[in-house]
């Protein structure tokens, strides 16, 4: 579980579901009307809070009636609103969204007449209290200053930046972030045909950052600093229900996974699965609710770094749990050497000095941190790492793939 501060936009969304996209000047009856809270950062934080993180939003709000509704909605999402800046001048940002039930497309008309967070307001936040800062690439007046203090005062904590739309001068800020997430809207607006060519050009601007670019059904491209550009295929989805907030969900999945010390490839894979799950359902509520969620694997109190805990998930998967540097690691209980459980012959011995654990069958040693076999018959192969969520009671849940 991490403390995450998101800096960006909070919006009141009015969503009309229609059975086809209207023609210009057509009068069409909607089958459903929903009033939701939205905005990219607010949505990403909501998903992160469902993934077990403690989230806070830094955003601006108006002083009108709708602002009360907006703040209540954010609180309901279990997002801390301590760092919300109220402006007397301006009105609550609104989006009117047409959701086409035939293909899940969402067409957004956005209204905004509200100042963005001021630099002075942001500068008073104790950002050192957070484990991760995630910025929306907007507020070009103050974003450079905010990123600058974040970069200056934070040594360990990652800074991520979402680049959804082109904005004058934003490219100069890229080196300030550890993780840059580009949308295909930005890519196409900048004249790129796919994420690969976009990232190639971005590698020159931000050689020390992790780069990710999503491109709808074409999948996502990603690269670590100095690394080659790789591609993640998009999951095929039989029935697209609702794409609103899919990108925000992807970003949350990425942050969650990287915070769990997964590598970029694993994180992009997890983020894509989570976004696909979102697209198959309406809204963002109960995104992680599934059959596993009623059945925790274990409680963190049962998991230590001195020995492994082997448990079985609801679908019969045997799972190895162990603590490493304060975080819970979960691996499928299957040795890649002969596809047998690691505890087939005896218990899984842990060596706390070199942080490895040993398969009891043919003495393969695996790093506790990432599951890589560092000695033994399956050298350089890895245990399958599993995604988990820890709730506020310390119960550990397996997330479905
Ligand atoms: C979805 C969303 C909506 C919001 C709009 C803002 O990604 O955040 O919730 O109204 O985009 O641009």
Average pLDDT, the chain: 93
Ligand 1 atom nearest the C-alpha of 39 is 8
Instruction: Select from 3.40.1190.20, 3.10.310.10, 1.10.3720.10, 3.40.640.10 the CATH code of 3-279.
Output: 3.40.1190.20
Topology of domain 298-398, CATH = Rieske Iron-sulfur Protein (2.102.10)
- Residue 269 beta carbon below 6 angstroms from any ligand 1 atom: no
CB 342 within 8 A of CB 360: yes
Distance 215 CA to ligand 1 centre (A): 17
Cα 227 from chain centroid (whole Å)? 22
Domains of the chain, by residue range, sit at 3-279, 298-398
Strand partners, 58: 7, 83
Task: Say how far apart CA 344 and CA 331 lie, in whole Å.
Answer: 15
Three-state DSSP at 77 gives: coil
Q: Which residue in 100, 109, 110 sits closest to 16, CA to CA?
A: 100
Q: Strands of 75-146 (E only): list them.
A: 79-87, 91-100, 106-113, 132-136
* pTM confidence score: 0.76
- Residue 244 beta carbon below 6 angstroms from any ligand 1 atom: yes
Q: Which residue in 388, 244, 284 sits closest to 46, CA to CA?
A: 284
Q: Which residues contact 212 (CB under 8 A, 6 or more apart)?
A: 179, 180, 181, 182, 220, 221, 222, 254, 264, 268, 271
Q: If you count them, how many residues does the chain have? A: 401
Buried b (16+ CB within 10 A) or exposed e, 311-332: bebeeebebbbbbeeeebbbbb
The pLDDT tens digits of the residues spanning 1-49 come to 899 999 999 999 999 999 899 999 999 999 889 999 999 999 999 999 9
Q: Which has more pLDDT, 326 or 112?
A: 112
- Residue 13 beta carbon below 6 angstroms from any ligand 1 atom: yes
CB 85 within 8 A of CB 121: yes
How confident is the model at residue 288, as a pLDDT? Answer: 87
The pLDDT tens digits of the residues spanning 76-110 come to 999 999 999 999 999 999 999 999 988 889 999 99
Q: In the 8-state DSSP scheme, what is residue 176?
A: G
- Residue 8 beta carbon below 6 angstroms from any ligand 1 atom: no
The total of other beta-carbon atoms located within 10 Å of residue 65's CB is 9
Three-point CA angle 207, 213, 215, nearest 5° = 155
Distance 46 CA to ligand 1 centre (A): 13
Q: Pick the range with the lowest mean pLDDT from 57-71, 214-228, 380-394.
A: 380-394
How confident is the model at residue 294, as a pLDDT? Answer: 63
- Residue 248 beta carbon below 6 angstroms from any ligand 1 atom: yes
The burial of 239, by beta-carbon neighbours within 10 Å (0-12 exposed, 13-18 middle, 19 or more buried), is given as exposed
């Amino acid at each position: 579980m991490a403390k995450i501060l998101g800096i960006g936009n909070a919006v009141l969304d009015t969503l009309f579901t229609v059975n086809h996209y209207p023609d210009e000047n057509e009068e069409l009856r909607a089958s459903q009307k929903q009033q939701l809270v939205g905005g990219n950062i607010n949505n990403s934080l909501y998903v992160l809070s469902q993934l077990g993180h403690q989230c806070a939003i830094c955003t601006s709000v108006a002083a009108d009636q709708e602002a009360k509704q907006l703040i209540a909605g954010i609180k309901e999402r279990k997002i801390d609103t301590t760092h919300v800046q109220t402006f007397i001048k301006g009105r609550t940002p609104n989006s009117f969204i047409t959701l086409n039930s035939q293909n899940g497309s969402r067409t957004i008309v956005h209204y905004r007449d509200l100042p963005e967070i001021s630099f002075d307001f942001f500068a008073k936040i104790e950002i050192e209290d957070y484990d991760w800062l995630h910025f929306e690439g907007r507020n070009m007046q103050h974003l450079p200053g905010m990123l600058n203090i974040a970069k200056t005062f934070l040594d360990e904590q990652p800074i991520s930046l979402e680049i959804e739309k082109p904005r004058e001068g934003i490219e100069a800020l890229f080196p300030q972030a550890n993780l840059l997430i580009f949308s295909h809207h930005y890519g196409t607006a900048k004249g790129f045909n796919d994420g690969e060519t976009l990232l190639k050009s971005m590698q020159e601007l931000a050689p020390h950052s992790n780069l990710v670019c999503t491109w709808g059904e074409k999948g996502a491209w990603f690269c670590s600093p100095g690394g080659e550009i790789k591609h993640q295929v998009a999951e095929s989805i039989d029935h697209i229900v609702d794409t609103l907030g899919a990108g925000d969900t992807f970003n949350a999945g990425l942050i969650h996974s990287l915070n769990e010390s997964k590598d970029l490839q694993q994180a992009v894979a997890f983020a894509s699965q989570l976004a696909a799950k979102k697209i198959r359902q309406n809204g963002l509520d109960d995104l992680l609710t599934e059959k596993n969620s009623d059945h925790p694997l274990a409680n963190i109190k049962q998991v230590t770094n001195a020995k492994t805990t082997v448990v079985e998930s609801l679908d019969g998967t045997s799972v190895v749990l162990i603590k490493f540097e304060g975080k819970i690691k979960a691996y499928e209980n299957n040795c890649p050497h002969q596809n047998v459980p690691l505890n087939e012959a005896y218990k899984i011995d842990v060596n706390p000095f070199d942080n490895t654990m040993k398969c009891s069958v043919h003495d393969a040693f695996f790093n506790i941190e990432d599951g890589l076999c560092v000695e033994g018959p399956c050298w350089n192969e890895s245990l399958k790492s599993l995604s988990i969520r820890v709730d506020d009671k310390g119960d550990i849940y397996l997330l479905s793939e």
